[in-house]
Structures are given as structure tokens and as C-alpha cells.
């Protein structure tokens, strides 16, 4: 029949007929090649099917709607060459073909297939073991597809409490079952639960330890507040001074600020508090930048300047353990008189001192 159509005399032809005649000749020749090809029958049918679709799209000028939107600028001849190439080497990936992850089309024999197999082809989202929902009838319950039979598919819902709920769905209603894309229902109990309970977690223990360090630091700072009228703060230069006579060791300054756990062990250049062998960095509160604005705080510890000249130092750095938390502090090793600036000798490797980065104070 194809031979007859190809050579039919089409009287009163329009411009489409010559192209149609050529296309039919191409299909006729290609069919003969397909029949004599040593390739598997599925492969030969798939390749010939693609040839037919390409010819139709090309004749109708609708190639941009197909899987090869760039079309075939060489016309039917190029389409024929593509067919011969695919028939010879069907496993070679097709250039320019979009929308398919497979190199070959899978041919399904639906004529001899069982109803259950046909249903799986028609509902390709259904797979044994996957979870599905039917909101209209079952709300947010998650059902697992457990069995496919010719008279229906069986879904099972296993609640956390109670018996398993089984539903058999007829083949024509399968499309209403949607693949569950969220987190699958699961339970946590016993030893697994105990390991994850917040009461046993390292996170909770870390926060409790951090809170203890924070509390001890701030209470120490508050408990050792300088006597009223004993200090004076200045800008230009930014410094803190004794404004009356202060006895030896009377002044003991602990820093204030917020603490954070140092996870990488790097403590150089940081103001450190230590608890249970774990270092915590101390970040000062916002410092006063202008005495008139009254924003921020005056923390004498952070205003003490360092000096390279040991004989100029009026303060020394030390460590004190309070409730098992080791804190840094400054104290005066000798009596101070009014007008003495609070200075500490630049720290050595084994003597803690103020942090390298000081609060930015505008003059």
C-alpha cells in the first residue's frame, strides 16, 4: 500500500504534494531497511516511529513543538540520514532531543498485557513500596502501595497506634492517589528517643555551661564595682584614671560582656574565661562613644590601656577561679593617687590581659 501511495498520480497538486510524495517514498524505503535490520524488534519500531513523527512535523512546519525544536534544516534527506544513523547505532544518544532521560524508547505491548500492568503504564507514578495520599477521602494519612492486582491496587496505612488500615482501589480510580512528597511518617521511641531527648543532649549541656560562665562573669563584675567617686573616664585621650587615693589591691576589675564557646580552640588575641577545660571568649558590651548621649556602658576593665614600659604600669593582670570558672581581672599592685592613669604592662604569652581588639571609642 505504501508503494502505491508513494507513486500515486496526484492531479491538481499543490505545493504540498511533491513533499508528501517524497516523504512517502522515504517512509517506504525506510520500512524496507527496518525489516532487514538485525536490531531488536522494539528498537526497529521505536526508530521508525521517530522517523514518522519527524516527517509529519516537518511537512506541517511544526517541528518546534516536537522534541527536536531546532528541526532539520536539511529537510527529508537529513531526516532519512538520522533514521539510518539511529537504526545502525540505536544506543548512541540523540543530539538535540529533549525531555527524555533514556537513550531508547521503551515499547509496551498493551494488547496482551494484564489489566494491572496497563494500569501501571497509565499511572506511572505508582510503584510498590512508595507512599501515597488521597486527601479527599483520607486526609493527610500516608498509604503505602503494597500489592497490584488485576481487580485493584492495595494501599496500607500503618498508624502509630492501632491496627493497619488496608484499602483496595479499583483501577479506574488510581489517578486520584498522589505521590506523597513530604517527610514520611515515622516514629522515635526507646533508646533512639533517649539519645535525642533534649535532656540528654550535648546542646543543652553546652548551653547550661555557657549560662554558668555568663552568670559567674557578670556577678563577679558587679560584686567588684569600683568605689563611687574613685575613677574618672576621659576622651582625648581615651583613658580611665584614679581620681582619689586608692589603697594597694583595693581596685579589682573584672570584665563585663557576653560569652561564647570557642569551638576551634583558637584563643590567641581573645579575652578568655575557662570552665571545665573549655575556653569561652568574652565580648564587651557596647562602649560609650559620647558622654552626652549616654548610650552604651563604661567598663573600667576595657578602658585600661597597655604600656610597653613596666615601670609605668599601675595595674597587673591575673586569673581568679570563682565557682570553677576561671576569670581574668586587673588589680593595682600598689597604692594609687589621684591623677594616676590605669595602665597594664603589655601581656606576655603566659599572662592574660585585655583583648587585642578594643572597643572603638570616638574622641
Name the CA dihedral angle for 34, 38, 42, 44, rounded to a multiple of 10 degrees: -20
Output Rg (C-alpha) for the chain, integer angstroms. 42
Q: What is the mean pLDDT of residues 64-76?
A: 82
Q: What is the mean pLDDT of residues 110-128?
A: 86
Residues spanned by the domain of 277: 200-345
Do the domain assignments include residue 162? yes
Same domain, 50 and 137: no
Same domain, 48 and 152: no
The C-alpha atoms of residue 345 and residue 329 are separated, in whole angstroms, by: 13
Number of structural domains found in the chain: 3
Same domain, 154 and 44: no
Same domain, 218 and 335: yes
Which of the residue ranges 58-67, 89-98, 316-325 would you say has the lowest mean pLDDT? 89-98
Do the domain assignments include residue 355? no
Same domain, 327 and 205: yes
- Helical (H) or strand (E) element with 146: strand 143-149
Same domain, 16 and 69: yes
Same domain, 128 and 75: no
The C-alpha atoms of residue 285 and residue 221 are separated, in whole angstroms, by: 13
> Is the model more confident about 180 or about 358?
180
What pLDDT, on the 0 to 100 scale, is given for residue 293?
85
Eight-state DSSP code of residue 143: E
Same domain, 170 and 260: no
> Is the model more confident about 22 or about 164?
164
Which of the residue ranges 8-12, 310-314, 346-350 would you say has the lowest mean pLDDT? 8-12
Same domain, 154 and 269: no
Residue 351 has pLDDT above 80, yes or no: no
Q: What percent of the chain has pLDDT over 90?
A: 53
Residue 101 has pLDDT above 50, yes or no: no
Do the domain assignments include residue 29? yes
Do the domain assignments include residue 254? yes
User: In a 3-state reduction of DSSP, which class is residue 165?
Assistant: strand
Same domain, 214 and 332: yes
Residue 254 has pLDDT above 70, yes or no: yes
Query: CB of 69 within 8 A of CB of 63?
Result: yes
Same domain, 62 and 132: no
DSSP labels, 7-48: T---TT--THHHHHHHHHHHHHHHHHHHHH--S-HHHHHHHH
Looking at the whole model, is its pTM more than 0.85? no
Domain with 260 in it: what CATH number? 2.170.270.10
Among 144, 179, 214, the domain-final residue is: 179
358's grid cell: 578594643
What pLDDT, on the 0 to 100 scale, is given for residue 92?
55
When pLDDT is cut at 50, 70 and 90, the band that residue 109 belongs to is low
What pLDDT, on the 0 to 100 scale, is given for residue 286?
94
Amino acid at each position: 500500500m505504501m508503494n502505491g501511495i508513494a507513486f500515486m498520480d496526484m492531479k491538481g497538486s499543490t505545493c504540498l504534494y511533491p513533499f508528501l510524495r517524497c516523504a512517502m517514498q522515504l517512509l517506504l524505503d525506510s520500512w524496507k531497511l527496518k525489516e532487514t535490520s538485525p536490531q531488536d524488534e522494539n528498537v526497529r519500531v521505536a526508530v521508525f516511529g521517530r522517523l514518522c513523527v519527524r516527517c509529519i512535523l516537518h511537512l506541517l512546519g511544526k517541528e518546534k513543538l516536537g522534541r527536536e525544536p531546532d528541526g532539520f534544516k536539511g529537510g527529508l534527506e537529513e531526516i532519512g540520514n538520522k533514521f539510518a544513523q539511529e537504526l545502525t547505532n540505536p544506543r548512541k544518544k540523540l543530539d538535540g532531543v529533549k525531555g527524555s532521560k533514556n537513550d531508547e524508547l521503551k515499547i509496551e505491548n498493551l494488547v496482551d498485557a494484564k489489566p494491572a500492568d496497563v494500569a501501571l503504564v497509565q499511572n506511572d507514578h505508582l510503584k510498590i513500596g512508595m507512599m501515597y495520599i488521597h486527601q479527599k477521602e483520607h486526609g493527610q494519612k500516608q498509604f503505602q502501595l503494597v500489592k497490584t492486582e488485576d481487580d485493584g491496587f492495595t494501599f496500607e496505612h500503618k498508624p502509630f497506634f492501632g491496627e493497619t488500615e488496608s484499602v483496595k482501589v479499583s483501577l479506574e480510580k488510581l489517578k486520584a492517589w498522589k505521590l506523597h512528597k513530604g517527610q514520611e511518617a515515622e516514629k522515635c521511641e526507646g533508646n533512639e528517643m533517649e539519645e535525642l531527648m533534649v535532656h540528654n543532649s550535648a546542646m543543652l549541656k553546652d548551653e547550661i555551661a555557657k549560662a554558668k560562665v555568663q552568670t559567674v562573669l557578670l556577678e563577679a563584675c558587679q560584686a567588684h564595682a569600683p568605689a563611687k567617686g574613685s575613677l574618672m573616664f576621659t576622651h582625648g585621650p581615651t583613658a580611665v584614671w584614679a581620681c582619689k587615693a586608692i589603697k594597694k589591691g583595693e581596685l579589682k576589675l573584672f570584665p563585663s560582656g557576653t560569652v561564647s564557646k570557642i569551638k576551634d580552640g583558637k584563643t590567641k588575641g581573645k579575652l578568655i574565661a575557662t570552665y571545665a577545660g573549655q575556653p569561652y571568649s568574652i565580648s564587651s558590651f557596647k562602649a560609650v562613644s559620647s558622654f552626652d548621649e549616654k548610650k552604651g556602658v563604661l567598663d573600667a576593665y576595657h578602658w585600661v590601656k597597655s604600656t610597653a614600659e613596666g615601670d609605668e604600669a599601675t595595674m597587673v593582670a591575673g586569673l581568679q577561679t570563682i565557682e570553677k570558672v576561671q576569670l581574668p581581672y586587673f588589680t593595682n599592685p600598689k597604692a594609687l593617687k589621684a591623677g594616676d592613669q590605669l595602665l597594664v604592662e603589655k601581656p606576655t604569652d603566659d599572662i592574660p590581659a585585655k583583648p587585642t581588639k578594643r572597643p572603638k571609642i570616638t574622641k
